Amino acid sequence: MKRVHMVVAYDGTKYCGWQVQKNGQTIEGELNRCLTALFGEEIMVIGASRTDAGVHALCNEAVFDMSARMPAEKVSYALNQRLPEDIRVMESKEVDPLYLPRKQNTIKTYQYRITTGEVQIPTERLYTLFLRRNLEEEKMQEAAFYLIGTHDFKSFCNTHTTVESTIRTITDIKVFRKDEILVIEVSGKGFLYNMVRIIAGTLIEVGINRIAPEEVKKMLEAKDRDAAGPTAPPQGLFLYKYEHL
């Protein structure tokens, strides 16, 4: 038996998120189905990040155990022949039998992407949030500074979140333009359910001058979901990068 590590990229548009669900198609479910068919044994992957419905990823990570003799490096090629075209294994390799993606010391980076203007660019409709209002990037960046560091992010997570602690560490937030797209890039050691989308929704509220940048500090201190901004829609969110420390 050997453990195989995979880097998985996907367009999350038509999926109900990463995690297997009884009544919906998921990324994890498709990986399990195709791996089981490929190797003729029941296989269940263990993922690093449970992305939400409609969220995309360039670099999610997962492991699984197999008894087949196929070299781990060949798994990505063989599996990609079976997977739907909106899911791809970018690389695969053998790792220690006890290796678990969630237990690794990493910095995870998400990007939330926004387009603005009078008319939505059709090719971006599934991959960005479209706004007809201009955003003041400088004010968004000013507000973002209050979120950097180790804080109690209870105001910035879904009310149905069940965790022992809502304290998390954000290592950096950048607000910048890349061609026609405004990007909110959030890096940290771990995130709560909907946390990045709520951060994005809050910074958008700052960008349209609905709230002042300094109000974000008060939102953190409130430790109340109702104090922060709305949860931004999923299609603008990408799991962008993993850095192993």
Three-class SS state of 48: coil
Catalytic residue among 52, 65, 86, 96: 52
Calpha distance 199→154 (Å, rounded): 12
- 3-state DSSP: the chain helix, strand, coil percent, rounded to 5? 25, 30, 40
The torsion angle over the Cα atoms of residues 93, 94, 96 and 99, rounded to 10 degrees, is: 40
Residue 110 makes CB contacts below 8 A (sequence gap 6+) with: 185, 186, 187, 191, 196, 237, 238, 239, 240
Tokens of 231: 């949860």
Read off the DSSP letter of residue 77: H
**Catalytic residue list contains 179:** no
> Which residues are identified as catalytic?
52
